[in-house]
Amino acid sequence: MSALLEARGLVKEYEIGSAFAGRKRIVHALSGVDLALKAGETLSVVGESGCGKSTLARCLTALAAPTSGSVLLDGADAQNLLHRDPGRFRRAVQIVFQDPYASLNPRRSIGQAIGDGLRLHKLCPARERRARVCDLLEQVGLSEDHVDRYPHELSGGQRQRVAIARAIAVSPRVVVCDEPVSALDVSVQAQIINLLSDIQTALGVAYVFISHNLALVRHISDRIAVMYLGQVVEIGDAAALRAGLAHPYSRALFAASPEIGRDRDAPGAKPLEGDVPSPLDPPSGCRFRTRCPFARERCAQEMPALRNVAGRDVRCHFAEEIVGAGFAMSC
């Protein structure tokens, strides 16, 4: 059975600079990402800033076309589907952005913003649209009173509720949430997370959940993918990853989290030092080798493949050795 939404060998490069001056350069934002989302599950994506999470979100939702590789919905190529039947892909795969203010048009009322998808996809007759919008507002914890208001009249948390209502209005099967609570007050974050969880229970929607909050990710995910410099370096069931991490980068990343990093003497559990190398000029071989305490000659010469070790997929030549050295660093 094919996955609901799948990335296959996804590569995304951005050209920057001027070709005239001979200073054209390539940002390697995604370098061969493979992942498959199952119906109804939550797959979290974590990794430092700049590792390609938002680029992945834009490719998965077809807001950006990959340079090579493909995104598949029910096994069908997204780019083909967008030519043949754009509504089908757009309805099935929705996105919620980090900044709900930037993602809502300030000149469109809340009712219009949520109703747009219903209108565009002809999901309910015009005369019933307002009632349907009010139902959706209720479903996200707002009320009929909000329908004629404008984004600037709402708080950040309320705006994010509107963005969520807009996403679920078209009955999607996947919602990609790109750091959906990072811009909100801490007190509001839990409410929005609970709302997303209630919606998943009610609608059976699958989430790709991009977040910096590792404690939260550990709690809410069915599976977790760890990204480094445009690649997935470890992906597996949350339960397996909670029991222990197999990639040196995952260990260092989780060790840096104050709520999680317990055993800092465990192998590879020292918090990360230095910056992520530039995606303009990624290291040869393993991309993490310049910061990796286990790096050896082979790591500079040969890019490790993503392969199954200890019940998860991991991109490290020496994963067995690292696992063998102990799983003391739990996430």
How many binding residues for Mg ion (CB under 5 A)? 2
**Whose CA is closest to 31, among 232, 276, 190?**
232
User: Cα(153)–Cα(302) distance, rounded to whole angstroms?
Assistant: 55
Cα distance between residue 303 and residue 38, in whole Å: 28
Tell me 267's DSSP state. T
Tokens representing residue 96 in the block: 């919620």
Residue nearest to Mg ion (CB): 54
How many Å is the Cα radius of gyration of the chain?
21
Q: How far apart are CA 3 and CA 16, in angstroms?
A: 34
- List the single partner that 16 binds among Mg ion, ligand ADP, none, CB under 5 to 8 Å by kind: ligand ADP
At closest approach, how far in Å is the CB of 294 from ligand ADP?
24
User: What 3-state class would DSSP assign to 46?
Assistant: strand
Q: Which amino acid makes up residue 139?
A: Q
Query: What is the rounded distance in angstroms from the CA atom of residue 12 to the CA atom of residue 30?
Result: 5
Q: Which does 282 bind (CB under 5 to 8 A by kind): ligand ADP, Mg ion, none?
A: none
String marking each residue 48-77 x if it binds ligand ADP according to CB under 6 A: -xxxxxxx----------------------
Nearest distance from C-beta of residue 16 to ligand ADP, angstroms: 5
If the CB atoms of residues 45 and 81 are measured against ligand ADP, the closer one turns out to be 45
Residue 29 near which of Mg ion, ligand ADP, none (CB within 5-8 Å, type-dependent): ligand ADP
Binding mask 46-65 for Mg ion (x = CB under 5 A): -------xx-----------
165 binds ligand ADP (CB under 6 A): no
Residue type, 173: R
Contacting residues toward Mg ion, per CB under 5 A: 53-54
Contacting residues toward ligand ADP, per CB under 6 A: 14, 16, 27, 29, 47, 49-55, 279
